[in-house]
């Protein structure tokens, strides 16, 4: 007999890689806002050297996990998670680049949670990013897809972006990228490690007011575990400018539909929520059901890891 209790999962301890990155097999569910996802080898990297080593084998980049549905089997690739200095922020203003109302900060790590950054900027009375309030991303993930709302987006406040690929490190400005709506133009698996923010001097009160105004639009959103909106608003011949995906799902009578422990939110039909203990298979089944019942081609808003076609539910 060993000291370990019978039936307890035996997990290999964290190891340090050649360059000192912490490497650990972990359930990815703990890194996602949906709370779903099997195991993978997670590389916690805090230096360029560690990142370069992590990139020597096939990898994926994990940010705040707020736009992901990860399979119950996990993923076979290494999962890179920014930590240490890549999860720190320096909001000191660079005097060489700051003039008048326009200011540029020091480096903000790609692994910094966006909500905490916004709170810090508000207290300093620094404006430009408050339109992204309520997005539970990390800075790197939010930059990678130019996350935003109708009140503003990440590219409203970027001066320099550091991008790392297996070929090396480069620093670019937004003008160097072909960015647009919810798209930074940065290819997949190019890692946004740090950014310098380009902000505008305002007052804490004015920034707070704009944040509160932008946040009102979230009033109907469920407060449960979710990866955000499930589908993009589709364009149809009838609605060439797009029609609300939530309304279509609601009209199909699907609000409150459950598969296992996943449910189409009764509050907002375009949100699938985890009631506790949901699996990726439950969520896939609901996504499939929505597509089938709505009868309009609808594109997924979030990513499936690994990428896969949605199959019919095994149980309903």
Ligand X SMILES: Cc1cc2nc3c(=O)[nH]c(=O)nc-3n(C[C@H](O)[C@H](O)[C@H](O)COP(=O)(O)OP(=O)(O)OC[C@H]3O[C@@H](n4cnc5c(N)ncnc54)[C@H](O)[C@@H]3O)c2cc1C
The footprint of ligand X (CB under 6 A) covers: 33, 60-68, 82, 110, 135-138, 140-142, 144-145, 147-149, 182, 191-192, 226-228, 303
Instruction: For residue 271, give both structure tokens.
Output: 């949100």
Q: For ligand X, give the closer residue by CB, 103 or 133.
A: 133
CB of 125 to ligand X, least distance (A): 23
Q: Which DSSP helix (H) or strand (E) runs through 116? A: helix 114-124
Q: Which helix H or strand E contains 201, and what residues bound it?
A: strand 191-201
Active site residue 209: no
| Shortest spacing between CB 282 and ligand X, in angstroms | 17
Going by C-alpha positions, the residue among 165, 115, 137, 167 that lies closest to residue 62 is 137
Work out the burial of residue 19: count CB atoms within 10 Å of its CB; fewer than 13 is exposed, 13-18 middle, 19 or more buried.
middle
- For ligand X, the closer of residues 274 and 279 by Cβ is 274
301 is catalytic: yes
Q: Is 182 a catalytic site residue?
A: yes
Of 61, 70, 59, the C-alpha closest to 29 is 70
Nearer to ligand X, 59 or 281 (CB): 59
Nearer to ligand X, 109 or 260 (CB): 109
* Nearer Cβ to ligand X (296/304): 304
Q: Do the bridges between strand 258-259 and strand 191-201 make them parallel or antiparallel, or are there none, so unpaired?
A: unpaired
Instruction: Let me know: does 272 contact 263? Beta carbons within 8 Å.
Output: yes
Contact 191, 140 (CB under 8 A): yes
Q: Of 89, 130, 162, 229, which one is the catalytic site residue? A: 229
CB of 174 to ligand X, least distance (A): 15
Residues 6+ away with beta carbon under 8 Å from 122? 130, 204, 207, 208, 211
**Residue 37 gets which letter from DSSP?**
-
Name the minimum Å distance from CB 63 to ligand X.
2
- Catalytic residue chosen out of the listed positions 30, 182, 218, 247: 182
Q: Which is nearer to ligand X, 145 or 248 (CB)?
A: 145
CB of 140 to ligand X, least distance (A): 2
Strand (E) or helix (H) holding 290: helix 280-294
Give residues with Cβ within 8 angstroms of 71, minimum separation 6.
Answer: 37, 38, 280, 304, 305, 306, 308
State the DSSP code for 138: B
- Of the residues 77, 88, 301, 303, which is catalytic? 301
What's the min distance (Å) between Cβ of 143 and ligand X?
Answer: 7
| Enzyme catalytic residues | 182, 229, 301
């Amino acid at each position: 007999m060993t000291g370990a209790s019978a039936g307890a999962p035996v997990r290999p301890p964290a190891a340090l890689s050649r360059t000192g990155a912490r490497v650990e097999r972990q359930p990815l569910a703990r890194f996602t806002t949906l709370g779903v996802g099997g195991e993978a080898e997670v590389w916690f990297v805090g230096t360029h050297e560690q990142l370069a080593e992590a990139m020597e084998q096939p990898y994926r980049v994990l940010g705040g996990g707020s736009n992901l549905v990860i399979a119950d089997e996990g993923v076979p690739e290494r999962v890179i998670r920014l930590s240490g200095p890549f999860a720190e922020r320096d909001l000191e203003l660079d005097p060489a680049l700051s003039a008048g109302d326009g200011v540029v900060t020091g480096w903000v790590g790609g692994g910094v949670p966006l909500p905490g950054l916004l709170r810090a900027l508000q207290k300093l009375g620094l404006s430009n990013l408050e339109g992204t309030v309520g997005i539970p991303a990390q800075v790197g993930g939010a930059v990678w897809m130019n996350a935003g709302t109708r009140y503003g987006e990440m590219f409203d406040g970027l001066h320099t972006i550091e991008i790392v690929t297996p070929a090396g490190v480069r620093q670019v400005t937004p003008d160097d990228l072909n960015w647009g709506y919810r798209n930074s133009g940065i290819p997949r698996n190019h890692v946004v490690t740090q950014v310098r923010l380009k902000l505008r001097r305002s007052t804490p009160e004015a920034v707070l007011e704009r944040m509160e105004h932008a946040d009102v639009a979230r009033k109907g959103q469920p407060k449960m575990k979710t990866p955000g909106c499930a589908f993009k608003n589709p364009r149809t011949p009838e609605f060439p400018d797009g029609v609300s995906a939530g309304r279509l799902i609601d009209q199909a009578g699907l609000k409150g539909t459950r598969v296992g422990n996943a449910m189409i939110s009764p509050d907002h039909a375009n949100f699938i929520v985890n009631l506790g203990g949901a699996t990726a298979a439950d969520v896939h089944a609901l996504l499939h059901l929505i597509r089938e019942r709505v009868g309009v081609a609808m594109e997924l808003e979030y990513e499936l890891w690994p990428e896969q076609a949605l199959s019919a539910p095994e149980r309903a």
